[in-house]
Every structure is written in structure tokens, then in C-alpha cells.
């Protein structure tokens, strides 16, 4: 599967529509994620981490997050499930650099990030819910990795396809990814035909009745 080519053609809304039609109605987030580094589209496979707030001195700071970053494979999107916490900025420039070196194509953080300007200079895709200048040491840590995690009611499993853009984030379960991708590509083509018809003067009702796409 050529993920870079699919990233050019697909977008979160069309994938969500297809999943909806297939009965998978809880695959996209509703919370606001921001493309903080200016790269507004991301597609890859979930590499998951589960974070927790801590309130004590961590005897092994950064231990599991560094393991997660170093074990990324080409095409991975690192998922930081931090419960939306704004206790610290859990992702920044150095982790982005190390993750990219491992083949990671971007990160999704349900929480806060920092070093935004540096990551923007890198062109590393970062989607997060907040910014926070505080370091994560003794504030937050990874407690599990490569496990199923939940963000905003959506389950992210290791290896699932995940896409993020300005509309939101959607996860495609691995067992149906081929059907979803095929149907989404067909829907994109149909939407293009419908859009052209409307641009050329066809009424929206007529276009929907003729092409069945809106």
C-alpha cells in the first residue's frame, strides 16, 4: 500500500463517511486537534503510547517514551494518548528528530507539545490539542506502549491506519482497511464528478439525485 500516494488523494471526512456507511460510527475524534507545525495532513500506521500524569520524582525519566521513539518503523505515526492533559509539553524538537530518524512520519498528541517553531522548521507533522512550555519530567510519563489506547472515545490499535488533517483524526481498523480505502477512492471520484456538475450549473438536489453523493 503506497501511503504517500493515498495521503495525496484521501482526506479525513471521506474516510469517516465510508466508515459510517459500513457501520463503524465511532472512528473519528470530535475534539479539536491543531496542526501546529504547518503540515496539515498525515497518514500512517499507529505506534501507540499511553501517558499518565505523575506527581513524584521519576527515577527513570523519559525511559519508555525513548523506547517508543527508537522502536518506530518507517511509516509509523506515533500516538500519544495523554488524556488531553495540559500538565506539560510531552512532545518537542528532540523527540521529533529521533522519531523521524526511525522512520516515523508524524505524531498525534492528545495533550500538549512544545518547541513548536523548531518542529515547524523541521517540517515534522504534529497534531496536538494544546501547547505547554513545561518539560514532562516529573509531570507526565509513558506507562505503556504498543497497546490499544483510547482518544476522545476512539480506539487506536497498533498497526491501524490513522489519518489526520484540518478536519480531525480518523482511525481505520486493520481488518477492514482494504475495503475502506477502495470505497473512499471511489467516493472521491464521485465527489469530483458531482462538484464539476454543480460548478457547471446543476442544482444540488439534482446532482445528489443523479450521483448519490453529497
Q: How far apart are CA 45 and CA 63, in angstroms?
A: 23
Question: pLDDT per residue over 57-110, tens digit each?
Answer: 999 999 999 999 999 999 999 999 999 999 999 999 999 999 999 999 999 999
The response to whether 159 counts as a known ligand-binding position is no
Confidence of residue 189 (pLDDT cuts 50, 70, 90): confident
Is residue 195 a known part of a binding site?
no
User: CA angle 29-142-133, nearest 5°?
Assistant: 75
17 is in an annotated binding site: no
Q: Is there a binding annotation on residue 114?
A: yes
Residue 76 pairs with which residues in a beta bridge?
A: 45
Quote the pTM value.
Answer: 0.92
**DSSP assigned state of 209:** H
pLDDT digits (tens, 9 = 90+) for 2-25: 999 999 999 999 999 999 999 999
Q: Confirm whether residue 92 is marked as ligand binding.
A: yes
Asked if residue 52 lies in contact with residue 140, where contact means CB atoms within 8 angstroms, the answer is yes
**Average pLDDT of the chain to the nearest whole number:** 93
Q: Is 135 annotated as a binding residue?
A: no
Please calculate the CA angle 174-8-34 and round it to the nearest 5 degrees.
Answer: 80
Amino acid at each position: 500500500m503506497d501511503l504517500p500516494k493515498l495521503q495525496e488523494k484521501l482526506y479525513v471526512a471521506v474516510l469517516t463517511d465510508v466508515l459510517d456507511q459500513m457501520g463503524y460510527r465511532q472512528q473519528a475524534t470530535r475534539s479539536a486537534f491543531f496542526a501546529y507545525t504547518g503540515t496539515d495532513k498525515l497518514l500512517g500506521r499507529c505506534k501507540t503510547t499511553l501517558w499518565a500524569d505523575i506527581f513524584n520524582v521519576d527515577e527513570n525519566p523519559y525511559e519508555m517514551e525513548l523506547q517508543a521513539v527508537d522502536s518506530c518503523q518507517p511509516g509509523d505515526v506515533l500516538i500519544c494518548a495523554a488524556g488531553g492533559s495540559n500538565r506539560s509539553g510531552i512532545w518537542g524538537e528532540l523527540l521529533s528528530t529521533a522519531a523521524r530518524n526511525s522512520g516515523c512520519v508524524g505524531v498525534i498528541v492528545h495533550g500538549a507539545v512544545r518547541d513548536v517553531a523548531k518542529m515547524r522548521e523541521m517540517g515534522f507533522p504534529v497534531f496536538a490539542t494544546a501547547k505547554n512550555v513545561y518539560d514532562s519530567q516529573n509531570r507526565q510519563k509513558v506507562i505503556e506502549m504498543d497497546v490499544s489506547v483510547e482518544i476522545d472515545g476512539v480506539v487506536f490499535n497498533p498497526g491501524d491506519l490513522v489519518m489526520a488533517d484540518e478536519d480531525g483524526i480518523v482511525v481505520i481498523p486493520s481488518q477492514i482497511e482494504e475495503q475502506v480505502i477502495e470505497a473512499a477512492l471511489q467516493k472521491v471520484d464521485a465527489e469530483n464528478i458531482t462538484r464539476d456538475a454543480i460548478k457547471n450549473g446543476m442544482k444540488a438536489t439534482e446532482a445528489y439525485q443523479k450521483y448519490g453523493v453529497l
